[in-house]
Structure 1
Amino acid sequence: MNFTIYHIALLTTFRTKVEGGELALSDTEYFKLCETVLDGGFTDALDVERYHDEQAVKQIVAAAHEHQVVVIMSNHDFDKTPAVAEIVKRLTSMVDYGADVAKMAVMPQSVEDVLTLLTATNIARQTLPQPVITMSMGDLGKVSRLAGEVFGSCLSFATVGAASAPGQIALENLRAELEDLKLN
């Protein structure tokens, strides 16, 4: 009998209430949770929210790298889509803080907002040394989850069961769509 063994990387994310999660945590509690995950060797990649205490963010990034854990630094704006320059500035600050991957999710109010996010993604792809992940949320933003690769987003998110963010697409649907749109 032949078995194929796949290594599937585990990304650990705890989304605080400020960033769209369910639970409000102090910076101390948030970083203690991150430290516990790292010290236990429970993950391959850790999502670190950018807009916490700057020194604590830098310390957890250093700790993650000491544990050979990839840092995906993130920021979520559930109210709006910032201007192109602001999105690029936020992604740049994540790279400056040591992120291996910079991630930004925004809430579009119009088609123009989706274009703003995709334009910022393209600029970040051209100017930053690290990969970026970006997406517009909700129904308007679904196209960014499907076509993000064209503009420079290196990854998309799908659901298995209930969605954790507005506009997420079911895995069985997303796989086929991404394959159809894959750049050769």
Structure 2
Amino acid sequence: MKYNICIPIPVKSANISEIKPILDKIIKKNPNLIELRFDYINDVQNLTYDFIKELMDTISSNIPVIFTFRNFSEGGKIKINQKDRFRILKMFIVAKPDYIDAEMNADKNFLYEFINLASQNGVNIIFSYHNFEKTIKFNETITLLQNFNSKLIQELSLKPEQYQNNVYKVVFTAQTFEDNIIPLRLCKHFSNLPQKLISFCMGPLGIFSRIMCVTVGSFLTYASLEEKTAPGQIHIDEMREIYNLFLKNL
């Protein structure tokens, strides 16, 4: 069995010549996915459709790509008004990445338009929840996901085919080593369901679940190459070595 490892890339400028050497290094590592973190950009005015398409052409590999413009309240690096952020996210969809990230707590009117546009363009959505303070209880997380699913069906009147291929992502912060049990239980629980899930803990105490989550059903985990985009990320070489040593994988 092969475990999905995603390498995030902070996109800090619209200068392709600056980004390409980093992309080339990452592609040589042959990760299962690449995440482009556009909330690191030095100026949101640089996020044009032409730049996005050129960046996609630069990758030009068979590696699936995730587009993310993280909300400031959930760990994003740039603070802009929601109207501009939603405009950027909708532009991203038209560029047709394999996946695009959207927070579960986004405005429901935006979500309705966003999900429909993604469905029309064949783009899968990663619906995400991040808690940078703690790890919430297992049952509380299940309720959170059930409530979000109900919002999609009841409040937004969406059809299953519009969202059933999407991914849920719930990420916590470990305050104790025992906190790692929660996301691992969640991954195991969802491994028996059609719904794909990503779940682990951030921070130094969360490294265990960050590594082990894929072994119990998480759709993917994240590893760094040159720059970390979240607390507790480890280098992809170290992660693969751990899988080789302890899990006899890869």
- TM-score category (smaller protein): 0.7 to 0.9
Preserved CA contact (<8 Å) 2:96 2:121: no
Shift of 1:89: 2.5
Residue 146 of structure 1 is matched in structure 2 by 211
Residue 169 of structure 2 is matched in structure 1 by 103
Preserved CA contact (<8 Å) 2:186 2:199: no
Residue 60 of structure 1 is matched in structure 2 by 114
Deviation string 1:40-80 (CA, Å, 9 cap, x unpaired) is: x2522101111111221132122111111111110100011
- Cα RMSD for the two superposed structures: 2.2
Tell me if 1:22 matches 2:77.
yes
Tell me if 1:155 matches 2:220.
yes
CA distance in 2, matches of 1:139, 1:83: 19
Letter in 2 for 1:46: I
Q: Matched residue of 1:64: which SS?
A: helix
Deviation string 1:75-122 (CA, Å, 9 cap, x unpaired) is: 100011111112223334455533611001100111222112222332
Segments of 4+ moved more than 3 angstroms? 91-97
Q: 1:58 to 1:176 in 2, by over 3 A?
A: farther
- Structure number with greater Rg is 2
Preserved CA contact (<8 Å) 1:94 1:102: no
Tell me if 1:181 matches 2:181.
no
> Residues 36-47 of structure 1: matches in 2 within 5 Å?
36-39=91-94, 41-47=95-101
**Runs (5+) with no aligned partner, structure 1:** none
**Count of aligned residue pairs for this structure pair:** 178
- Match among 121, 128, 135 for residue 81 of structure 1: 135
Preserved CA contact (<8 Å) 2:96 2:122: no
Tell me if 1:172 matches 2:172.
no
CA distance in 2, matches of 1:47, 1:156: 15
Residue 114 of structure 1 is matched in structure 2 by 180
Preserved CA contact (<8 Å) 2:118 2:125: yes
Preserved CA contact (<8 Å) 2:183 2:213: no
- Match among 113, 119, 131 for residue 196 of structure 2: 131
Residue 66 of structure 2 is matched in structure 1 by 11
Residue 70 of structure 1 is matched in structure 2 by 124
Letter in 2 for 1:132: L
CA distance in 1, matches of 2:146, 2:241: 32
**Runs (5+) with no aligned partner, structure 2:** 1-59, 153-162
Question: Taking CA–CA contacts closer than 8 Å with sequence separation of 6 or more, which of the two structures ends up with the larger relative contact order?
Answer: 2
- Aligned identity (percent) is 28
CA distance in 1, matches of 2:248, 2:67: 26
